[in-house]
Structure 1
């Protein structure tokens, strides 16, 4: 489950970013809509990085979209609880410590699902239509089919019509989507082909 309310992590800002992902941010083409292959490559390259949170899966997916895919933030530094915003910013405290703040949609699976439902113009497939998924898509899982959305990952491989997922929380590289679906009876997934609708 990924229900960390999230108030810290990495970003591209006017303040020098000491995070190991700053080099990725510097390579982002500001006029690109989103680079799905870049999203997947970032996830493959960083699947076993040390998690920033005890529940880190949505943070991992958001960083893949931002650092790898070049997806622009929305509503930066505005209401962090709003599912209409998706952002993370870095700050330097008066005593010199660098820290981050972010919207809930950056780190909470349920909020990211709502944000993408409202603001992505791309196709949404379910686990039963995973053959239509594409590398770089974002997948969100509902364990047992009840309550909110619990887990997030990135589609990093497609093979013979089957999707493979890389994710944090019990870090995984190219884990078959079906393994997640079969881990608990009634589990389902939504697979977002992300096309930002805000720029």
Structure 2
């Protein structure tokens, strides 16, 4: 068999062969397809989906607030001894149903305050052996004011309150102080500052000042002593 020509038709390459059989020429044709560079298939027209890797959004790292070691020691003590059953009564005793100032005074000792003739507890396990300034909210207020060991703040000055400061409350707005605690948390800014405190009677670790002066004692007033 001898091939005599190639003919390109349509999309395929037609092969035409001339075969001589018993003196008669017969033509046979076969089609050999070649890819058309302009042709497309469904697979080519529609790209295969590719996996898209989600890039995690960057989350700002929490802001670490450096706490003075003395304040940290104070907070550690408060959070270790605020609940009934964890009181440090062996050393300081318990003032019946009014142990809030006894507890706050202990926390100030842990912060580094020193006892003196007006503010003291002999640590005999009997809280009633302590001085008035150690166990009375009003007497403690007068003691701090007289000694200048802290700066008085009103509830309108929340932006100046820090953890470790003393929180005091006048439940009936009579001018004295009826409850004392230690500030354990300050959150928010501007008019949205929320202050929490720890104390005894009512035992608490993060009691809200706002709850104390509204829900618990509607119309009460909060005050603070800012400790340098």
Structural RMSD (CA): 2.0
CA distance in 1, matches of 2:146, 2:98: 24
Q: CA separation in 1, counterparts of 2:212 and 2:159?
A: 16
Q: Is 2:61 the counterpart of 1:61?
A: no
The structure 1 residue matched to 2:158, chosen from 127, 130, 144, is 130
Count of matched residue pairs: 146
Q: Which residue of 1 aligns with 2:9?
A: none
After superposing the two structures, state which structure 1 stretch, 42-51 or 134-143, moved more.
Answer: 42-51
Helix, strand or coil at the partner of 1:181: helix
- Separation in structure 2 between the aligned mates of residue 41 and residue 131 of structure 1, nearest angstrom: 23
Match of 1:87 in 2: 120
TM-score, with structure 2 as normaliser: 0.59
Gaps of 5+ in 1: 1-33, 76-84, 92-97
1:186 CA displacement: 2.9
Structure 2 residue aligned with 1:118: 146
TM-score (norm 1): 0.67
1:151 aligns with 2:179: yes
1:88 aligns to what SS in structure 2?
Answer: coil
Task: Flag as ranges the 4+ runs of structure 1 deviating above 3 A.
Answer: none
Flag the structure with higher strand content: 2
- Is residue 71 of structure 1 aligned with residue 129 of structure 2? no
Which residues of structure 2 form unaligned runs of 5+? Answer: 1-68, 88-93
Change (3 A) 1:132 1:147: closer
Task: Tell which has more relative contact order, 1 or 2 (C-alpha 8 A, sep 6+).
Answer: 1
CA–CA distance in 1 between the matches of 2:126 and 2:107?
20
